[in-house]
Amino acid sequence: MSEKPGYRPEGSFQIAVRSLRQADSPRFGINLEHVRRLAESEAVFQPILVHRETMRVVDGMHRVHAVKLRGQHTLAAEWFEGDECAAFMVAVESNAQHGLPLSREERKQAALRILRYHPDWSDRAIAKTSGLSARSVGTIRRQTGQEGARADVRIGCDGRARPSSTAAGRVAAAEMIRQNPSASLREISRQAGISVGTVRDVRRRLASGQEPVPERQRKGLNTSDSIPVVVEPQVVEAVSDPAQRIEMFNRLRKDPSLRLSENGRFVLHQLRTQLCSTEDWKRLAPAIPMHGRTTVAELLSACADDLMEVAQELRRIEDSLAG
């Protein structure tokens, strides 16, 4: 089982079924047919996850009922340590990723509860945990009256803090571009607190004589506002750790829809090359002559900007198709 917030990988152990309490689960109830199928199978169950403080089952309630149906009194378990909010979050994520899928209504109710716990989380971050689309989470946020109560800064699924609206950042970026047209996209992005792709769009809009802020974002915008305070991004271990990148890639290359198609194999090849080339650049950096380092840095930044734009487009496409 992959490590989660509050999870302590001390190894599995046998726990008495009678000592367990009902799960604080996103599910509305137990699927008896699924329990029967589990009980009749000869499978050795993966350890369930148990909240040590309350003895509630965090993940694996169907396995508990299947063990009872088999007439057994113990089963393998692992401890979860953390508050009940964290336990519920792990329960939602676990149920959304494996086993019997959550119904859409169960996922919606889970997203609603997560929204109450973490109103500062972005729609995408809540969607990733609940198994809904970001668009669906946004709809739930609006329907529950949470839209106007959103914080100015939102926490994304990558752990970074960003403004909930890019309008003020666009105005700031436009002013920087007017004052210093040769400034790099990345530098403007850092100072204005918006993404590189958004800065590129601002520069394109200015070049074509348009306002830097799209019309749909101008409502309530005070263009005399000062440049917003930028929340420095946090380092996200799940992305920055090369070993975890390789682990993510290895999971991806097992996907038949990629592995068994020509374009899919090309995607995997390009990803493998990209993962390797990043480490190569780190190794080669000291060998680049001093007079050429600025040029190489600019070229690498430009390539990174292009890749970021592709990544953003993939996320936009995912949102438009989901929900």
pLDDT digits (tens, 9 = 90+) for 193-245: 777 778 888 888 888 888 888 876 665 555 444 444 343 333 333 345 667 77
- pLDDT reported for residue 317: 67
pLDDT confidence bin for 165, thresholds 50/70/90: low
Distance between CA 176 and CA 182 in Å, rounded? 10
Averaged pLDDT score across all residues of the chain: 76
311 vs 123: which has the higher pLDDT:
123
Amino acid letter, 134: A
Q: Say what percent of the chain tops pLDDT 70.
A: 77
Residue 174 has pLDDT above 70, yes or no: yes
Distance between CA 38 and CA 65 in Å, rounded? 9
**Mean pLDDT (whole number) for 276-302:** 77
**Mean pLDDT (whole number) for 156-163:** 50
φ/ψ (deg, to 5) at 48: -80, 165
Residue 30 has pLDDT above 90, yes or no: no
Sort 289 into a burial class: Cβ within 10 Å, 0-12 / 13-18 / 19+: exposed
70 vs 150: which has the higher pLDDT:
70
- pLDDT reported for residue 319: 57
Question: Cα 53 vs. chain centroid, distance in angstroms?
Answer: 28
Query: Comparing 140-149, 150-159, 222-231, 277-286, which segment has the lowest mean pLDDT?
Result: 222-231
Buried/exposed 263-272: b ≥16 CB within 10 Å, e otherwise: ebeeebeebe
Structure tokens at 157: 């699924």
- pLDDT reported for residue 74: 93
CA angle 88/89/91 to nearest 5° reads 60
- pLDDT reported for residue 277: 75
Residue 177 has pLDDT above 60, yes or no: yes
Query: Comparing 29-43, 178-192, 202-216, 274-288, which segment has the lowest mean pLDDT?
Result: 274-288
φ/ψ (deg, to 5) at 123: -55, -40
- pLDDT reported for residue 216: 66
The secondary structure of 156-189 as a DSSP string is -TTS-EEES-SHHHHHHHHHHHHH-TT--HHHHH
Residue 41 has pLDDT above 60, yes or no: yes
